[in-house]
Structure 1
Amino acid sequence: MQCIVKEQARMTWPESPPDYQAIGSKLGIPGLINRKGTVNADLEAVNNIRSALFSWLRLPGNSRWLLVFDNADDLETLDIQEYLPKHGGGAILITSRRPHFSEIAKQFHLEGLDSESAVKLLLSLARLQHAPKDIQGEALKLVKRLGLMPLAISHAGHYIHETKIPLEDYSKSYEKAFMTVQSRKPKVGWNVRDDTAATTWDISFSRIEKQNTEAAYLLVTCSYLNPEEISENLWEDKEFDNTEIKERVLLLASYSLVKIIRYGVFSVHPVVHSWARERLQRSEQFQTIKRVIMILGKASQRVNVSRESNEWKATEERGVASHLNYLHQYLKPNFSEFPQREKEGSKIVPLLASMINIALVFNNQGNYDEVMQWYERALTGREKALGKDHPLTLSTVNDIAGVFDNQGNYDEARQWCERALAGREKALGKDHPSTLDTVHNIAKVFCSQGNYDEAMQWYERALAGSEKALGKNHPSTLSTVSNIATVFWRQGNYDEAIQWYERALTGREKVLRKDHPSTLDTAHNIATVFSNQGNYDEVMQWYERALTGREKALGKDHPLTLSTVNNIAGVFDNQGNYDEAMQWYERALAGREKALGKDHPSTLDTVNNIAGVFSNQGNYDEAMQYNQGNYDEAMQWYERALASHEKALRKDHPSTLTIVHNIAVVFRNQGNYDEAMQWYERALAGSEKTLGKDHPSTLSTVNSIAGVFDNQENYDEAMQRYRRALASREKALGKDHPLTLDTVHNIAGVFENQGNYDEAMQWYKRALAGCEKALGKDHPSTLSTINSITRVFKSQMPKSTSS
């Protein structure tokens, strides 16, 4: 109103002192303007001033006005409609976080700034406009973390400028002390407003607390969840009324503290998310965390999240897992204090059960470090509350053994399995399903260590017990069936392996569905057997089914998905398509290093495979210098893999022996036959002891030793070993398997080197027919055989004709 008075004075008395009494009468507020033109601001005069304002807005021709109501959020104590003119030709702008005005005006929902503008604002206020690209990258991460919210970005920019804190360190300060960094206002330039990001939310939160305490607590609970997508069904439980949850969410949305994305799903702004968590006292934080653990623990056991159910859905599991990752991140600094702060008693048992359920989801996601932390805290709590020999305590012991097995720490896994088995046999009996589960796990550890005879004995015990106690198609029984197939596969008994895998596949498709992770495991394993048999058409179909299913169900970076990626690379490698192989191996390596660590056996297997590609590429007619470079790089990878395998497994473990064999290959390709022979002999001795004399891996080493003798022109020794390899490969793999044909080709080479060209030609022709059938006409092995036949043919021709 004061502005209107001044404008009226300027227009009516442009060159003489204005008559404010006349202006007051004209505007309908006589006596409320003093001689200096100041409007009386007493509360008693408000109604008259409002009436005068409305009268002025309605004046004929008065259409160029804009009435602004800023931060119109308190709709409970102030009836804003009393201040809205009913007539007039101007415009009204209302800014509010409340959605209620959509019924009387056109509503525009303002999102945050775009990324480019947000970065410019931040760097401008922080006085870093000319920052290098790496700083701009950090700025982009920061503004996204602030939800692209101008007010929060403004606080951040001023704080960074005043404290001179590096951008990368601001995020740490922001996480530790949100209230401090988001409440600091600059000394100048902020006089137009007194609010901050923190105080803005505090005002709304206080109002919500008065209306619905549980709604306020719901927001606090959400501050430990993934803010981007929170489903109301997380609270589906007898304890909670779904209608009440919806009402609480609607109330929070009415204050813009949450945003409803779609029916039953809402999000929390990143700044609100941090503020709600930071505002809690330490004791309140632990109570909230406990409540979140109970909520997520129960959600982890829902039928669409549990892997034991045929109603399991990958999207539901990943949704719960996303919340668990946030919870773990915020709980991690104080994990050692939890759940010790809980008093002993009946209330802690459900809490520990929820922690176990949470650990299981982490385990299914392949996050083994997180799994172990949750299991260890739960074990400590159960031992204290229930005792070391209680079935629930022993269940946690068994679960921890499984984690060690998945991490490749087999000695630890065995120890924990044995503790669980002794306790369960005593407490539950030898034929109890829980006891049989531990029996199964012991067998799995023996298999992982390459001790297949022991593994089979334990699996057979587990299978007999499971079939009797649970039935032939129970998931636990089918798991044992699948693992027995794995033992046959690793022993090189491929026909038996396929039969057992097919039994497991049929059962799992029936009980669990085709896209269940356990079913996809079986599909992957069937592909692996076909790969070993050299049946590449079949193998790629099965791997593609496994990969598509695992990417959808588990995600692209899950260890099981990466296993399929690694094996697809192996198929390309075996087909001589080294560029494709390298791309797939590099994807597998990057994922495994991130998910499992650089020294995990699976990571090292990929390291070994990459080294193999470098070694194979060194066999082409390229410059010696380039070849040597490939061999040097291969040797570095092999040495890294060998050291870690010997540490994580043992010297005669099959995976370790594979590396020993491949190191010998590098020395042989370099022409260092004495070194090659030493490494081959070490690999052979270990393979014969661990796997047996007729195992495919053993025969591969026998074949390679023959090759070294051939290179050294010791043809009798070479032929003796080639014939041993051929006889066993024909028996185990078949006459047309690529490995069998490789030996056939090598025997032909010995005859050629001895000058026995007729014999050489017969063996080369046999190799060619087999390669064209099994591998195709353009495979490197096929082309190599054609080249050899051409060479022998020329050698048989008279010199004059040949020239």
Structure 2
Amino acid sequence: MAEQRSGGGAESHGGRAAPEHVLVVFPGYHRPWAAWINQRLEAHGVRATLQRWDPPREVPLEDSLGDLLLARGQVLLVLNDWFFELGPRPAGEWNDVLRGFVAAHAERFAAVNLTNRTLLPSTAVLEPVSLWGVGEEEAEVRLLSRLAIEPRRNAGRRLPASALARYPDTPPEIWGDVPRRNPRFTGRDDLLTELQERLMDAERGSAACTLLGMSGIGKTQIAAEYAHRFSPDYDVIWWVNSDDRNVQRDRLGELAVKFALPTGSEPGERIRAVREALRRGDPHARWLVVFDGWDDTDGIDVMLPQGPGHVLITSRNRGWREHTDFLEIPSFDRAESTGYLMRRAPQINAVEADEVAAEFGDVPLPLVQAAAWLGESGMDAPEYLRMVRDGRLSTVDDPAAGDGMPNASLTSWSILINRLRRAQPQAIDILSLCASFAPGRIPLGIVRAYPQAQLPEDLRWMATDLPAWTRALDTLVNYSVLTRETRGPMTTDEIGPHQESIHMHRLVHDIVARLTDGDHRDAHRKAVRTLLAEADPGNPTDSRHWPRYSELLPHLEPSGALRSTDPRIQVAVLNCLRFCDRSGEYKAGIRLAGRIRDEWTAFMDPLAPHMQELTTLEGDILRRYGRFREAYDLDLAQRERLAATGNSDRLGTLQSKISIARDLRFLGQYQESEQLQREALAEARSLLGDTQFLTLVARHNLGVVLRMLGRYQEAYEQDTDTLATCETVLRPHHASTLNSNNAVAQDLRLLGRYREALGRQEANVKLHVKILGPQHLHTLYARSQLALCRRREGGFKEDIGTMMASVLDHLEQAYGRDHYVTLSAVTNYANFLREHGDLDLARELITEAEAGYRALLGPAHPVSTGVLANTALVMQASGERSSALTMLESALAGLTASLGSDHPWVLGCALNATAARNFNGRVVEAAELSRDTLRRARHVLGNEHPLTLSCQVALATDLRGLRETEEAGKLEEDALLTLTRTLGAQHPHTLSARQRNRPYWDFEANL
């Protein structure tokens, strides 16, 4: 026949003609194999075409196969046992067609077999060659032999490795906990193809797509299938469970280890390194990161990778449409629903399957449950539907579940749970226990890891009967109630039951909590919170324990741990709060502290030790997050409660004073803060001695407030004394010692001792990086101070801007743009840019800082006022001299009113105001202010301080403008001699004064 001759070609193996064209016919889930076959055929000179195939059930199978023969050449079917369930087909239809139609056109059909399971006997007509379990070279030999193709030498090897399709049995180099492939995944082929096209066609750096839809719609299953189906396109596939932000951060950070990136253990540091590696595409450019269950869009800027790879997100939050490309995940098509039901429950026909699908609205999750139950029980569909509709087995009073799940599906869950209660009651025990955890990732293995915990009688079997434990979990997995956490590329590695974690969807968790027997719920919650306390590592200051704390944290509230009166559990709760504080999870910490307070207030004395500890921690977190007024109100209320008891609790009163003194400092009330801090220090020394930790904290805080008051010499003396004690008592590598060392370097810089400050701060930053990690807030602050030291010392012109930009970027990534330390870095970088001529960016940044501080601190705060001086300098450099003068005079008046006329910030602002007056032709007023400012600077800072010498140079300039040249010359000459002696002849300050450039003062915004 002419149809048969169209596939002819050169004679090859055994006299058979090698085809000129091959149509590779494959189900969607075998795309990796089809892509590999296609490339191998074309490498050997045979043109190939890929045809994804899922013939509609309504079309006779013979017609669908006949359509394939419209293509020229050979039709190669990519087979496994699942291939013959496409449709699905009535029993016997495939055998009939293979024996009849296919046998009649046997020369046009060929097949490869990808399973070791038994195929239909009539498949023999296709003479399938098995590629199961063989290596790539052998698979290629078998493929070519089956199609009578003569191999070419080094075929296709000229292609770069990145262009070669990976052999499907070879996983990506890095495969990160992607859920096991669902062997019953059905349909969604068009959606998966569209998803792949969107990611591939997106611009480099913005290939991110979010799968949006309600719970139970199948988003996670689609994402997992995409990862498996398109795995040959990637060298790295990394799955990030994102239901909980702490788990999400830790999971993404774990990729730093896989990439062998040189980072510490700080989550923020690891995330930064991972995102940078992904952005560069180094060490891998073909990557896929899947964020599963990412509903909170707050962390997009910090967490969302960019670069040459792809990002896939599953979420219920429709807000993702504003940030990424997106695909709305609909319910199943009816054909997908009925096909799935008929494959899982072969006893039902197409009409019955259609009725069941309609009952559940084609929503995948309840369909999965219905199909599992029907398939396991063997019940007829009409009987099943009657049970569903009359609700005879339902224990749910609520007519509908959350997220729009139909009421009938709740009934289906009730049927399933009742059946489990009869057939596998231990699975119900596990479900009931899981309902006392939070949804999402549940560290269920702690049940077996801590057998010493007192489990209720009905749960004790979990700690002793491993086979029953395994069977119960297997049952729940098989019924799609929960999934196990997985390891390895395509399969689950064996892990100990004490390490076992499961994942329970929010919707499933809600339904299980409603439908399982609640008689033991209180006892189960008590067991869970006892287990959480046992699993507490006991040291939240050690970052090595942070992954465990992030795992425990979500389960505190649902287990009732926040309401517990057990001191051991209360300690665990406080340790989780300390973890939030230490790890920088301030938002989570603030919420947790509020919930703890709500619960403990009902039964705990406000002055009980744990309640006082809660207040101290909550205040610390509020301050670290920048909510200074709230921290102050909290601490003030605590002081009033203590005062009402007659101050009998001396230690509590001391802690309260230290906290309030710190609050006052952040609120800009420096004099009041100093007074209270001195009282606290005296009490600490009297009560605890000079070397106890709380005393050292009070000593350090006094140094900080003295620095904020502009009393730099006193601050230096206080800080050096504190540092010496810290080095002796806490040792040099303690975090508090590092902080004290940082304070001494800052004092030296503010005293104008730039070289000493620089040498100390360089060594200090190295210690910060070594001990705390490069991304820790204290480390970033120390690096910011180092940049200022280098700028003031004057010998690092090329590196300072780069360093400032880097510090700012790290702070933004880790702590956000509006954090007060970030705002300080914004201010410092803006000052540097202005000095070096980038006025546009300087104006943009200083405007941002001004608005940020105003929102954070209020317009009357000294820092908010001081930043106006920097804004005025940008305006002045841009030629807006009149406006700059107005702003400087306003800033000078505001700072003088709040700090007094002798504060260094006031003197610096006055220096800038003298220049503004001079530039606006008000030379007499400029000279008057210059003379008064110089007098005050000499009194406050001494004759040799850089700011004093700048005031002296400024006065000389103003006097020269008034033609008082003799005095001007003497002042200028004396200033130059002193600058040369103290800073050096080549220091920028000295050179600028010699060139008669008008000096200025930068406001450094520190809190």
TM-score, normalised to structure 1, is 0.64
Partner of 1:524: 742
Q: 1:27-61: CA deviations, max 9, x gaps? A: xxxxxxxxxxxxxxxxxxxxxxxxxxxxxxxxxxx
Deviation at 1:483, TM superposition (A): 0.3
Separation in 2 of the partners of 1:233 and 1:756?
87
The equivalent position to 2:867 in structure 1, one of 629, 648, 659, is 659
Partner of 1:130: 197
Where in structure 2 are the equivalents of 1:242-253 lying within 5 Å? none
Deviation at 1:233, TM superposition (A): 14
The equivalent position to 1:743 in structure 2, one of 930, 933, 951, is 951
SS in 2 for 1:385: coil
Residues 917 and 925 of structure 2 are in contact (CA less than 8 Å); yes or no, is this contact kept in structure 1? yes
Separation in 1 of the partners of 2:965 and 2:831?
32
Residues 463 and 481 of structure 1 are in contact (CA less than 8 Å); yes or no, is this contact kept in structure 2? yes
Q: 1:471-505: CA deviations, max 9, x gaps? A: 22111110000001111111222222122222322
Separation in 1 of the partners of 2:117 and 2:977?
85
SS in 1 for 2:647: coil
Q: 1:668-700: CA deviations, max 9, x gaps? A: 334444433332222222222322222111110
Residues 481 and 500 of structure 1 are in contact (CA less than 8 Å); yes or no, is this contact kept in structure 2? yes
The equivalent position to 2:674 in structure 1, one of 433, 453, 456, is 456
The equivalent position to 2:820 in structure 1, one of 601, 608, 618, is 601
Residues 660 and 679 of structure 1 are in contact (CA less than 8 Å); yes or no, is this contact kept in structure 2? yes
Where in structure 2 are the equivalents of 1:30-429 lying within 5 Å? 112-114=171-173, 126-128=192-194, 129-131=196-198, 132-133=201-202, 137-138=207-208, 153-154=228-229, 170-172=314-316, 239=453, 273=503, 281-282=512-513, 302=538, 305-307=539-541, 313-316=542-545, 318-323=546-551, 327-328=553-554, 338=558, 346=565, 350-388=568-606, 390-427=608-645, 429=647
Partner of 1:692: 900
Q: 1:619-647: CA deviations, max 9, x gaps? A: xxxxxxxx7xx25x544444443344334
Residues 146 and 152 of structure 1 are in contact (CA less than 8 Å); yes or no, is this contact kept in structure 2? no
Separation in 2 of the partners of 1:703 and 1:756?
20
Deviation at 1:740, TM superposition (A): 2.5
State whether structure 2 residue 718 is matched by structure 1 residue 648. Answer: no
Partner of 1:611: 830
Letter in 2 for 1:315: R
Residues 389 and 427 of structure 1 are in contact (CA less than 8 Å); yes or no, is this contact kept in structure 2? no
Question: In 2 relative to 1, CA 510–189 (structure 1 residues): closer, same or farther, beyond 3 Å?
Answer: same
Partner of 1:14: none
Deviation at 1:767, TM superposition (A): 3.7
Letter in 1 for 2:544: T
Question: In 2 relative to 1, CA 262–565 (structure 1 residues): closer, same or farther, beyond 3 Å?
Answer: farther
Q: 1:595-615: CA deviations, max 9, x gaps? A: 544444333333333332333
Separation in 2 of the partners of 1:264 and 1:553?
33
Question: In 2 relative to 1, CA 418–523 (structure 1 residues): closer, same or farther, beyond 3 Å?
Answer: same
Deviation at 1:617, TM superposition (A): 2.7
State whether structure 2 residue 939 is matched by structure 1 residue 708. Answer: no
Deviation at 1:116, TM superposition (A): 10
Separation in 2 of the partners of 1:781 and 1:123?
69
Deviation at 1:125, TM superposition (A): 8.0
Q: 1:208-231: CA deviations, max 9, x gaps? A: 9989x999989998996699xx99
TM-score, normalised to structure 2, is 0.53
Separation in 1 of the partners of 2:465 and 2:718?
53
SS in 1 for 2:193: coil
Separation in 2 of the partners of 1:509 and 1:231?
42
SS in 2 for 1:384: coil
- In terms of fraction of residues, the more helix-rich structure is 1
State whether structure 2 residue 769 is matched by structure 1 residue 540. Answer: no
SS in 1 for 2:902: coil
Separation in 1 of the partners of 2:433 and 2:911?
70
Residues 927 and 955 of structure 2 are in contact (CA less than 8 Å); yes or no, is this contact kept in structure 1? yes
Residues 209 and 216 of structure 1 are in contact (CA less than 8 Å); yes or no, is this contact kept in structure 2? no
Letter in 2 for 1:133: A
Residues 592 and 603 of structure 1 are in contact (CA less than 8 Å); yes or no, is this contact kept in structure 2? yes
Residues 232 and 264 of structure 1 are in contact (CA less than 8 Å); yes or no, is this contact kept in structure 2? no
Residues 765 and 786 of structure 2 are in contact (CA less than 8 Å); yes or no, is this contact kept in structure 1? no
SS in 2 for 1:130: helix
Residues 234 and 299 of structure 1 are in contact (CA less than 8 Å); yes or no, is this contact kept in structure 2? no
Separation in 2 of the partners of 1:770 and 1:380?
62
Q: 1:489-537: CA deviations, max 9, x gaps? A: 1122222212222232233333333232222211221221122123233
The equivalent position to 1:586 in structure 2, one of 776, 782, 805, is 805
Deviation at 1:374, TM superposition (A): 0.6
Letter in 1 for 2:705: V
Q: 1:164-215: CA deviations, max 9, x gaps? A: xx995645499xxx9x99xx9898799999999999x999xx999989x999
Residues 367 and 595 of structure 1 are in contact (CA less than 8 Å); yes or no, is this contact kept in structure 2? no
Question: In 2 relative to 1, CA 531–167 (structure 1 residues): closer, same or farther, beyond 3 Å?
Answer: closer
- Calculate the aligned-residue CA RMSD, in Å: 5.7
Deviation at 1:655, TM superposition (A): 0.7
Q: 1:433-488: CA deviations, max 9, x gaps? A: 12210111111111112222211221122222222222221111100000011111
**How many percent identity over aligned positions?**
20
Where in structure 2 are the equivalents of 1:529-568 lying within 5 Å? 529-568=747-786
Q: 1:365-406: CA deviations, max 9, x gaps? A: 232211111111111111112255655444434433333333
Letter in 2 for 1:514: P
Residues 520 and 549 of structure 1 are in contact (CA less than 8 Å); yes or no, is this contact kept in structure 2? yes
Question: In 2 relative to 1, CA 385–530 (structure 1 residues): closer, same or farther, beyond 3 Å?
Answer: same
Partner of 1:445: 663
Letter in 1 for 2:621: V
State whether structure 2 residue 931 is matched by structure 1 residue 723. Answer: yes
Partner of 1:787: 995
Q: 1:313-344: CA deviations, max 9, x gaps? A: 4433x3445435xx44x88xxx6xx57x6897
Which deviates the most, 454-463 or 554-563?
A: 554-563
Partner of 2:6: none
Residues 435 and 513 of structure 2 are in contact (CA less than 8 Å); yes or no, is this contact kept in structure 1? no
Question: In 2 relative to 1, CA 674–149 (structure 1 residues): closer, same or farther, beyond 3 Å?
Answer: closer
SS in 2 for 1:126: helix
Deviation at 1:572, TM superposition (A): 4.0
Partner of 1:53: none
Separation in 2 of the partners of 1:737 and 1:573?
16
Separation in 2 of the partners of 1:649 and 1:345?
37
Separation in 2 of the partners of 1:768 and 1:263?
73
SS in 2 for 1:483: helix
Separation in 2 of the partners of 1:634 and 1:560?
25
Separation in 1 of the partners of 2:885 and 2:645?
54
Which deviates the most, 492-501 or 722-731?
A: 722-731
Residues 775 and 814 of structure 2 are in contact (CA less than 8 Å); yes or no, is this contact kept in structure 1? yes
Separation in 1 of the partners of 2:448 and 2:734?
22
Letter in 2 for 1:323: E
Letter in 2 for 1:655: V
Question: In 2 relative to 1, CA 414–751 (structure 1 residues): closer, same or farther, beyond 3 Å?
Answer: same
Partner of 1:798: none
SS in 2 for 1:450: coil
Separation in 2 of the partners of 1:777 and 1:459?
42
Unaligned runs of 5+ in 1: 1-65, 72-90, 95-109, 161-165, 308-312, 619-626, 790-803
Question: In 2 relative to 1, CA 396–763 (structure 1 residues): closer, same or farther, beyond 3 Å?
Answer: same
